[in-house]
Amino acid sequence: MELFPSTEQQKKSQVKKSGLVVVKNMKIVGLHCSSTDLHAGQIALIKHGSRLKNCDLYFSRKPCSTCLKMIVNAGVNRISYWPADPEISLQNEASNPMTTDDAKLDAKAVERLKSNSRARVCVLLQPLGCSMVQFVEETSTKFDFIQKIVKSQPDSNADFYTACRQERIKEYESLFLISNEEMHKKILMTIGLENLCENPYFSNLRQNMKDLVLVLATVAASVPVFGCFGFYNSESQRTNETDHQSLPQEIARHCMIQARLLAYRTEDHKTGVGAIIWAEEKSRSCDGTGAMYFVGCGYNAFPVGSEYADFPHMDDKQKDREIRKFRYIIHAEQNALTFRCQEIKPDERSMIFVTKCPCDECVPLIKGAGIKQIYAGDVDAGKKKADISYMKFGEVEGVSKFTWQLNPLHTNALEFHDPTARENGVQKTKSLDDQQHQSKKLCLGHC
């Protein structure tokens, strides 16, 4: 959520933009990020109030004393945070000692609030499974969005995806990691994590942080900036003008990346699907997400409470239909609707982001729930498979459909590679960010 795109310009100050996930009874009930005027913790108080009682809060940075005192007072159960530069930055010592002094005072206040509160305040950074990074990388290269580029330019696959991934790794490391290890140790000691400054704890912490950044960057690269979400060409599609308008491309892509992350929670060992529902209020909100607010999310899994081995796991390659999985798996869209934390309001624009095209089982549910827009990968739209059909996606009326499409400017991904620029044998791109900026106007105007 710290990376959520915003049209607002963050004020240059000692306060870092931060993201926040609010969880209650094992269900996500809020996704927030700080705005120009408010920190993520303050926004959570405005949005949830006393409903924060017994919630678990996950911050992308250790919250400042202003936020912590309010959320502790609300009776939260646990507060977890990323073990790097906190919300009030401690990295400004060389450039501005005065702001660093304020940050140190705030860090001490946070420690006193922590030690005198009932809520558990802790760093949460568990090591990823040893094969997780490799699994995410292998899956991402095979994902729908990348496969569209592969089909149009088969020779560009390896270099194109690797270059995108390297750019994202570089971006995320600059945001989430402290490059200087000694500076990182000083910050950990200042924010009360001196027990993590000695090896092997410190080395393990750094490696765990790098692994998670690598996973985030790998998933983000699987929805490349060379594409855009364009209107699905369907004669039966009839909606009003407001619903017909797509989101800004940066926001649509970011929400799809969130859905991609959810897909890795799947219990289907072959096909992971993620879905996330957002809605847009009539008036601009205090949140860093603007008028958009979180409604619900889900991934494909077997029914709650069932044992993993209780149901079949075979796909349509198994000849015996009785032992195929399709009649037992709860789809990502179904879980997102079932466990949503907000009602879908008919007078607001609501949208669902799905990593694969919604099937015939889910399309009527999405329309019946009153969701106005569907964003999908659209690899299977219009197809029929052995046990699952995607025919209703193109035929459904009253719902705007947007599918990820190659940007016309970027149909030849190879032309954006600089063959003379190589580092460690990996081909690099000519400023992906500059190309993204140039292509954004085309995406919004012609898709």
Which residues belong to the active site?
A: 333
Three-class SS state of 411: coil
Alpha helices in 280-417 (DSSP H): 332-338, 363-368, 392-395
Cα(411)–Cα(203) distance, rounded to whole angstroms? 43
Of 67, 68, 54, 60, nearest to 24 by C-alpha is: 54
Q: At what angle do helices 201-221 and 249-263 cross, to 10 degrees?
A: 120
Is 365:333 a contact under the CB 8 Å cutoff? yes
The answer to whether residues 399 and 372 touch, using CB atoms and an 8 Å cutoff, is yes
Helix, coil or strand: residue 376: strand
Q: How far out from the chain centre does Cα 211 lie?
A: 16
Distances (CA, A) of 154 to 124, 149, 435: 41, 7, 21
Tokens of 1: 């959520």
Q: How far apart are CA 31 and CA 427, in angstroms?
A: 36
**Distant-in-sequence, close-in-space partners of 25: CB < 8 Å, separation ≥ 6:** none
> Do the bridges between strand 27-33 and strand 56-59 make them parallel or antiparallel, or are there none, so unpaired?
unpaired
- Sign of the alpha-carbon dihedral angle for 59, 217, 232, 246: positive
Q: Take residue 83 and report the two structure tokens written for it.
A: 């073990």
Task: Give yes or no for a contact between 168 and 246, defined as CB atoms under 8 angstroms apart.
Answer: no
Q: What is the DSSP letter of 248?
A: P
- Name the helix (H) or strand (E) containing 80: strand 78-81
Token pair of 332 as six digits: 């990502």
DSSP letter, residue 124:
-
Helix (H, G, I), strand (E, B) or coil at 93: coil
